[in-house]
Amino acid sequence: MTAPVSTPAPVSTPAPVPTATPAPVSVPALASSPVPAVRAVTLDAGGVPLSGLIAEPDGAAGPRSVILAIHGRGMCADYFNGLTDPADSLLTLGARLGHTVLALDRPGYGASAGPLPDGQPLGEQATTLHRALADFARYRPTGAGFFVVAHSDGGKVALHLAAQDAGSALVGLDINGCGWRYAPEARHFPDTLGGGASRLNWGPLRLYAPGTFKASRSLLRPVPAREAAQTATWPLQYPRLAGRITSPVRLTFAEHELWWELDDEAVAAMTGLLTAAPLVAVERLSGAGHNISIGRAARTYHLRALAFLEECLRRAGEAPAGS
């Protein structure tokens, strides 16, 4: 898809929902917790196999919650496994703080690429993920429930996930690198796998450790056709979803995020549509580019996402571990 796409005209929006950064909360000490093993996992999503990675907390008490990690366009579940430093990965940090972390290859990627060679549209991906989570919950404890951490186009799927009926049970959502309207430079949707999106995806080279760019090639996957076909329609999809989301939402935008329109007015318009969310938080993360979880700011972002999970658990009344 190379032809320029016009940005849809602004829609009428209700008064913005007040946004807030959650107050600091206490979290278990990382120093005393063992480093968890990361293992491969495959879930049955209504006959569709979804592959991925799982890290579980040490001990017999069961997890405090399950974190579902959803990767972005043209990536895979390994995005959350610490490309240059596994100790800073979401899988490792989340499990060390008592949560099961489940990073799945989205429909059309990994094990599902065979049965779904053209992938699925964003809404169908969300339905498939719901089925995978139901399969997971049949056999493993989920603690207080499912909390979603999603990156870029994975954030679009996460918002679909939360807007569906089954999404009302989500503990919360922490989404980074996903806005509403595309920035002018991004409106021709350059190809990530072909290297055309390098400036948009990375930002300044100093934001990443040596060896990151070479290592990141192992994460790249072809973008399924049915997913790619929906890229241009996201600015129309978001307003139809936002008002149906009833879980707390935190949006993080990197200092050097270039895919989206992110001036104060644009961000206020986006958050203003989240009218049913009980809490909407926004953060602009300094020293980071679009691919936050594989940059130098990864640990900072992951710990702040986990702090937001703590806030969501506190607000909901944390269920007993192992439930």
Question: Are the CB atoms for 170 and 162 separated by under 8 Å?
Answer: yes
pLDDT-wise least confident of 10-19, 53-62, 182-191: 10-19
pLDDT over threshold 90, residue 122: yes
Average pLDDT over residues 66-79: 97
Phi, psi angle pair for 256, to nearest 5°: -110, 35
Res 167 pLDDT > 60: yes
**Coil/strand/helix, residue 36:** coil
Give the model's pLDDT for residue 197: 65
Question: How much of the chain exceeds pLDDT 90, in percent?
Answer: 72
Measuring CA to CA, which residue among 252, 241, 261, 253 is closest to residue 187?
261
CA distance 231 to 224: 11
Please state, in angstroms and as integers, the Cα–Cα distance from residue 277 to each residue in 8, 41, 172, following that order: 24, 32, 9
Give the count of beta carbons closer than 10 Å to the beta carbon of residue 46: 11
Q: What is the pTM of this model?
A: 0.87
Asked if residues 318 and 61 have their Cβ atoms less than 8 Å apart, the reply is: no
End-to-end CA distance of the chain: 46
- Give the DSSP H or E segment for 131: helix 122-139
Q: What is the pLDDT of residue 32?
A: 58
Mean pLDDT over 100-128 rounds to: 98
User: How many Å apart are CA 153 and CA 126, to the nearest integer?
Assistant: 12
Lowest mean pLDDT among 6-10, 117-121, 197-201: 6-10
Q: Are strands 38-45 and 66-70 parallel, antiparallel or unpaired?
A: unpaired
Average pLDDT over every residue of 165-177: 95
Whether 60 shows a pLDDT value over 60: the answer reads yes
Q: 83 in helix, strand or coil? A: coil
pLDDT value of residue 257: 92
Distance CA 119, CA 98 (A): 33
In contact, 117 and 248? CB cutoff 8 Å: no
pLDDT of residue 4: 33
Dmax (CA) of the chain: 55
Measured CA to CA, the distance from residue 219 to residue 203 in angstroms comes to 18
Mean predicted confidence (pLDDT) in 32-48: 89
Contacts (Cβ under 8 Å, ≥6 apart) of 100: 54, 55, 56, 57, 63, 65, 66, 67, 94, 140, 142, 143
Mean confidence (pLDDT) of the chain = 87
pLDDT digits (tens, 9 = 90+) for 217-265: 999 999 999 999 999 999 999 999 999 999 999 999 999 999 999 999 9
Taking the C-alpha atoms of residue 71 and residue 121, their distance in angstroms, rounded to an integer, is 15
51 burial (CB, 10 Å; 0-12 / 13-18 / 19+) is middle
pLDDT over threshold 50, residue 308: yes
Task: Choose between 62 and 90: higher pLDDT.
Answer: 90
Q: Are 103 and 90 in contact (CB under 8 A)?
A: yes
pLDDT (mean) for 150-173: 96
- Residue 35's pLDDT is 74
At 159, which helix (H) or strand (E)? helix 153-163
